[in-house]
Amino acid sequence: MKDCGIPAKERIEGPPPRKCEILLRQTSFKALEESVRFYDDFGTLVPGSHTARFGEVEQRGAALTRKGRALYDKLLAIASTKASKRSAGFEEFDEILRETFEQFPDTWEELRSQGLVFLRYKPTLTGIAQAKITKSMDPEAKSLSKLLDCQQISYEPITYEDFLPVSAAGIFTSNLGVSTNSNIGDTNEDRRGFEQSICVPVADEMDLYEQLQADSLEECSKALSLSAIIP
């Protein structure tokens, strides 16, 4: 964006670049100053300007489990503390973030086996063919790890569809001319107040992702003629 003369945000919010993308990385171009005329106290139109419209660019990765999110928040807090002590600028903060997140597994198998991401499981052609052969037999329960080893089931990450409070705050403050590095880990959540405003309870994102994963295993179980799949 900067090469095209677009005033981009100073840094990309979210986790550092990875082989296995997680959660959400987002940046934006800053709100452009636009000419507009306002009515003054006497009802006369006077020239002015405002900065209201800005655009976001998002890269979405895998949704993290409660365990995965706890690790993410822990590492983000560590990186933020280090950056604060060093009064780090944007580039130094990104380097601190990258080094800190080396502790977060970065292969899909590690993420799966350690229960850090939500996954959508699918029966493979091999699994379906095997199920047709054994269909006349009594259905049995099989372990997920065994089905994966036998390539009867495959998986893909469930895409994270929410927003990160810290990242969203960074996007908006960048349009106010406020540094997004200071107090990067501080968020003031008011879920109760938000729910009162919209008059409905907010769904727990973790519950939704857990249900999606469980549903995919149930579909695999039916497709492979199994009584159950043991996680």
**Residue 174: per-residue pLDDT:** 52
What's the average model confidence in pLDDT over 98-102?
97
pLDDT band at 177 (very low <50, low <70, confident <90, very high): low
Percentage of residues in the chain having pLDDT higher than 90: 57
Looking at residue 224, its pLDDT comes to: 93
Per-residue pLDDT at 185 = 46
- At 12 the pLDDT is 87
The answer to whether residues 14 and 167 touch, using CB atoms and an 8 Å cutoff, is yes
Pairwise CA distance, residues 167 & 180, whole Å? 9
Round to whole Å and give the CA distance between 228 and 143: 8
In single-letter form, the type of residue at position 70 comes to A
Rounded mean pLDDT, 127-137: 80
Sign of the alpha-carbon dihedral angle for 207, 159, 20, 145: positive
pLDDT at 182 (0 to 100): 46
Task: Give percent above pLDDT 70 in the chain.
Answer: 87
